[in-house]
A and B are shown apart, each in its own frame.
Chain A
Amino acid sequence: MPNSNFKGGLKIENPYPSNEIDLIRIPLPDKVVLPMQQRIGNQAIPCVSIGEHVLTGQIIATIDDDQCAPVHASISGTVTAIGNHVYAHQSGLKGLCVTIESDGKDEWVDTSIGCTENYKACLPLTIYDKIRISGIVGMGGAGFPTHTKMRLAAGCKNIIINATECEPGITCDAALMQAYPTKVIRGVEVLLHITGAEKAIIAIEDDKQDSINELNKYCNNERIEIKVIPTKYTSGAEKILIKTLLGIEVPSGKFASDVGILCLNVATVVAMFDAVVENRPLISRAVTLAGSAIKEPKNFQVRLGATYDYLLSFVDLEEGSHKVTMAGLMMGINLKGTDYSVSKNTNCIFIDKAQESVVAQECIRCGMCNTVCPVELLPQQLYWYSKSENIEKAMDYNLLDCIECGCCSYVCPSNIPLVDYYQFSKALYKKQTQEKAEIEKARERFEFREMRLERNKSERAALMEAKKIALKEKMAKDRSQKEKINAALERVNAAKIDNIEEDAS
C-alpha cells in the first residue's frame, strides 16, 4: 500500500454510515429539467423547440466550445419549456433550462451504430469523437469535458482512475463499482486503447473493501493495477493523488496532462464505456442521498434532470426544516430548498435536520488551518487578504492553488467560512482580470480610432494637395499650349496678310 504521505488533510468518520451499499434503479421521472449552463464553458444553445418530441439520448443542446459538452435528452417525451430555472448554485441565480415531459416509453435513439464491442477496430480519433458527442464530463464534481481533458493529455504515459471518493458520506462511486465492476475494468481498457498509455492505476481508499474485492475479481489485465491507499480526506484531489501514486509533483499552475498523466474519475470511465461500447450518451448518473433527516442512506441510478423532490420521494424523509447540501459536506454548497434538478456533477444530496447556524467569530490566529491544508498554503494569510479584498497579495500567496477542500473551514475553532472567502477572492480575481482585459481592449480600440481619424484627415489633406498641384500643372500646361496656338494663329494670319499683299501687287 503506498503511503498517502501528503501533509495536512483530515481523517473524517463517515457521518452517514450504512450497512450495505447498493445502487438502486428507480422508475423514470415524469419530467426532467436539464440545465444548459454546465459547470464550466459557455452556455449550450438548445437545438430543439417547444412541443418537439425527443428520444432518449438525442442531443438537445450544444455549442462549439472546447469547455462545453453537448446535452442529451435523458427521457423520451415532449419539450414543454425552454426557459429560466433556478440552478443548484450558491448564487441562487436562474439560468436557461430545457424541460422535457416523459411519454413513459423511454424510446431511445438508434444505439446500434458505433464502435460496439469491437472498438479496437476503431481509430482512437473515432472513439475520441464518440466521447465528445456523448456529452461526457468529469463526474467527480469538476465537470470538465472529458474529450478536452483527453486531448490535452494526448500521448500520456500513465492513466489514473480516481476511485478514492474521499469526501465523507458520499458512496455513489463505491455503489457504481460494486454494480458494474466489469464496466470499470473494460472502460479502462478502452482508455488504454485510445491513449496508448503504458499502464493504468485504479486508486481506491481502503475503507471500500467490497469495491476492491469486486474489481480484483474482474481485473485480469496486467496493464491495469488496483492500488489501495489509506483513507484520508483530500487523498482524491488530483494533484495529491498523483503524488501519492507516482511520486510526481504537478507544478503550480500546471495540470496533470502537463506531466503526461490522464486522471479520470471512475464514474466518468463507466460513462465513457457506455458511450463507446453501448453507444449510449451520458443521460444518467449515480447519486447518494443521505443526511441526518434521511433514515437510511441510499444510492440511486437516476436520469439527469430528475428533480430533487422526485429523488426524495424514494427515501424516508423526516418532517421538519432541512438543510440541503449538494456535492458533499466539505466541498459542496448549501442550497435553499429542493427545487433543483440532478446535473452531470451532482454526486450527492445531503438532507440534514436544520441546526442553528453558527456565528463566525474573530480569527484567533491558532494556526490549525495551516496544519491541515493539504496543498501547503497559508490559509490564515489568504483569509486576511481576502477579507480586505487585497487580491494581489492573496495571489502572491498562491490563492489559485487552493483546491477549496474545506479542511481549514472544518477545523477552524472560530467557525470562519474560510473557503467561502477564497471562493470570493478567486471570483473577484477572475472578474478583475477580465475587466482589465476589457479596459485594455477599449483603450486600444479608442487609440486606433483616433489614429485612423487622424490618418484619414492627413490622407485627405495630402490628396487635396496633390489635386491642387495637378490642377496648377494642367493650367500651366494649358497656358503654354494656348501660347503655341496663338503663335500659330499669328503665323497663319501673317501668312494670309502676306498672300493678300502679294495678290494685290
Chain B
Amino acid sequence: MINAISTLSVLALLFGLGLGYAAIRFKVKGNPLVDQIDAILPQTQCGQCDFPGCKPYAEAIAKGEAEINQCPPGGQEGVDALADLLGVETLPLDHEHGETKPKRVAVVDEKVCIGCTLCIQACPVDAFVGSSKVMTQVIADECTGCDLCLPVCPVDCIDMIEIKPTIKTYVPTLKELVHA
C-alpha cells in the first residue's frame, strides 16, 4: 500500500518536472495562428483591409476582430484559403475594400519628381531610393504595387504599371489546353 503510493508519487513528481521543463523549453513564441494567417496574406502591405499592414490584419483575424474577406490583393483565392485554414464558411470578397488588380509596379516620372521624399516615408517595404531634392527611384523587385505612394505624391509623378507576362513568365491556362 505505502509502496504503491510512494511509487506513484515519485512518478507523478518526475512527470510533473518533465512537463514543467518542456513547457518552458518548448514554449511557442507568439501566436502560431497569426503566422499561419500571415503566410496566406499576399504581403502587399497596402492597408486596404483598414489595418496598417498584413501582420496587423492577421492579428485582427486571429482575435476575431476582422472578417476574412477584406484583402483585395489576395483575391477570392486568398479568402478561400483563409476560410480553409480557420475552418469557417468562405465569404465573397468585400468589394468595399477595393478590387483585385493584376500585379503592378510603381514607376517614377523622372522629369516631374521634385525629391520631396514623401513616397519614401509612405512606402511600407522601403522600395524607394532617394533623398531630399534629388530624383527618387523605385527598386522594381521590391515594390509590391500597394498604391500607398500615389496619394502622398504632391506632383503626381508616380504611375502604377501593370507587369505584363513575358516569354519567361508565361503560364498557359488549363482552358487553352482543353481546346488544344
Interface residues of A (CB under 8 A from B): 37, 43, 87, 89-91, 93, 95, 360, 387, 389, 417, 420-421, 423-424, 427-428, 431, 438-443, 445-450
Residues of chain B lying within 8 A (CB to CB) of residue A417: 177, 180
Could you tell me the distance in whole angstroms from the C-beta of A122 to the nearest C-beta in chain B? 35
Let me know if B54 is at the binding interface, CB within 8 A: yes
- Give complex CA distance A228, B165 in Å: 44
Contact A442-B43, Cβ < 8 Å, known A417-B180, A449-B125: yes
Residues of chain B lying within 8 A (CB to CB) of residue A427: 170-172
Let me know if B144 is at the binding interface, CB within 8 A: yes
Residues of chain A lying within 8 A (CB to CB) of residue B144: 442
Q: Please classify the interface of chain B as helix (H, G, I), strand (E, B), loop, or mixed, using the class held by over half of its residues.
A: loop
- Give complex CA distance A345, B124 in Å: 44
Whether the Cβ atoms of B178 and A37 lie closer than 8 Å is no
Nearest neighbor of A87 in chain B, beta-carbon distance: B167
- Give complex CA distance A450, B174 in Å: 41
- Give complex CA distance A423, B174 in Å: 11
Residues of chain A lying within 8 A (CB to CB) of residue B165: 91, 93
Residues of chain A lying within 8 A (CB to CB) of residue B169: 431
Contact check: which of A423, A439, A445, A448 meets B172 at CB < 8 Å?
Answer: A423
Whether the Cβ atoms of B125 and A442 lie closer than 8 Å is yes
Whether the Cβ atoms of B172 and A447 lie closer than 8 Å is no
Residues of B10-45 at the interface with A, using a CB-CB cut-off of 8 Å, are: 38, 42-45
Whether the Cβ atoms of B177 and A428 lie closer than 8 Å is no
Let me know if B104 is at the binding interface, CB within 8 A: no
Nearest neighbor of A388 in chain B, beta-carbon distance: B174
Whether the Cβ atoms of B174 and A389 lie closer than 8 Å is yes
Could you tell me the distance in whole angstroms from the C-beta of A285 to the nearest C-beta in chain B? 20
Could you tell me the distance in whole angstroms from the C-beta of B171 to the nearest C-beta in chain A? 4
* Residue among B127, B141, B167 facing the most chain A CB atoms (10 A cut-off): B167
18 contacts between A and B (CB under 8 A): A89-B167, A91-B165, A91-B172, A95-B166, A95-B167, A417-B177, A420-B177, A424-B174, A424-B177, A431-B171, A439-B43, A442-B44, A442-B142, A442-B144, A443-B54, A446-B54, A446-B55, A450-B53
Residues of chain B lying within 8 A (CB to CB) of residue A447: 55
Could you tell me the distance in whole angstroms from the C-beta of A36 to the nearest C-beta in chain B? 11
- Give complex CA distance A75, B168 in Å: 28
Whether the Cβ atoms of B42 and A439 lie closer than 8 Å is yes
Could you tell me the distance in whole angstroms from the C-beta of B138 to the nearest C-beta in chain A? 13
Whether the Cβ atoms of A446 and B171 lie closer than 8 Å is no
- Give complex CA distance A441, B171 in Å: 23
Contact A449-B55, Cβ < 8 Å, known A93-B167, A420-B172, A439-B42: no
Nearest neighbor of A90 in chain B, beta-carbon distance: B172
Residues of chain B lying within 8 A (CB to CB) of residue A420: 172, 177, 180
- Give complex CA distance A87, B170 in Å: 13
- Give complex CA distance A172, B144 in Å: 47
Residues of chain B lying within 8 A (CB to CB) of residue A37: 166-168
- Give complex CA distance A446, B52 in Å: 11
Could you tell me the distance in whole angstroms from the C-beta of B164 to the nearest C-beta in chain A? 9
Residues of chain A lying within 8 A (CB to CB) of residue B142: 441-442, 445
- Give complex CA distance A424, B180 in Å: 13
Whether the Cβ atoms of A93 and B171 lie closer than 8 Å is no
Residues of chain B lying within 8 A (CB to CB) of residue A91: 165, 167, 170, 172
Residues of B152-176 at the interface with A, using a CB-CB cut-off of 8 Å, are: 165-174
